[in-house]
Homo-oligomer: A and B are copies of this chain.
Amino acid sequence: MHKENISTAVIRRLPRYYRHLVDLEKAGTERISSSMLGKNMGLTASQIRQDLSCFGGFGQQGYGYNVTRLREAIAEILGMNRNHTAVIVGVGNIGRALVENFPFAQNGFRLLAAFDVEPAVVGTTLGDVIVQHADNLEAYLQENTVDVAGIAVTASAARDVALRLYHSGIRGIWNFTNVEMPEQQMPGVMVENIHFADSLLTLSYKITDVAEEQV
């Protein structure tokens, strides 16, 4: 299986396949046909077969996919077995939700540390980590190998934090602020944005569309 043959659109669907396959495994399902997988996921059997064509060895006509082997292959493609590490910068409501509730381990990550500037939270324990002062960010990143930093600081601090992370060697940024990252100043950095507003506005468009069609 060659990564370069997998399109970005397929990559974005792989986590969803992965979740379905985990559920199937938990339910004791050993194999599944593309049509059944498609029915579960709201896709056509041919979309499924096309998406998973790079995993050809696991899908056989009349047999379907071996659930465990397909899940493992997807996990490998997604880099879930690379012992990736993460830190969270900013532990307001969102950062706190990530530190306390997000299943890093299930996604192949180890959460190492969290940072903030508020005296009220620095030094407190959240989940399994002690919140450190953000002044320690550079020193911490020099001493520890960190792959991904989640940014959940206030909008005004977001770009500065991103550049500090970049200059400390971070190559993966998981951005929870509504601010665009200064990607041009951070060559080589991979950014994933969780823009709540973009998602709500897409929903706004969809429900407006429906309303108009009904007129």
Contact = CB atoms under 8 A, between A and B. Distances in A.
A92 interface: yes
A172 interface: yes
Number of copies: 2
Contacts of A19: 178, 180, 197
A109 B200 contact: yes
A207 B172 contact: yes
A99 to B, nearest CB: 9
A205 B79 contact: yes
Interface of A is mostly: helix
A14 B18 CA distance: 29
Interface in A35-56: 41-42
Given A16-B198, A100-B93, A184-B42, A171 B109 contact: no
Nearest to A201: B15
A26 interface: no
A174 B199 contact: yes
A148 interface: yes
A15 B202 contact: yes
A78 B202 CA distance: 7
A173 B107 CA distance: 25
B18 A201 contact: yes
Interface in A1-38: 3, 11-12, 14-16, 18-20
A98 B171 contact: no
A203 interface: yes
Nearest to A20: B180
15 contacts: A3-B209, A15-B195, A15-B201, A16-B198, A92-B97, A93-B96, A93-B100, A98-B196, A102-B197, A103-B197, A108-B201, A148-B203, A173-B203, A190-B210, A192-B202
Given A20-B180, A190-B210, 8 more contacts: A14-B205, A19-B197, A78-B208, A80-B204, A92-B101, A98-B196, A107-B197, A192-B202
- What 3 pairs between A and B have smallest CB-CB spacing? A79-B208, A93-B97, A15-B198
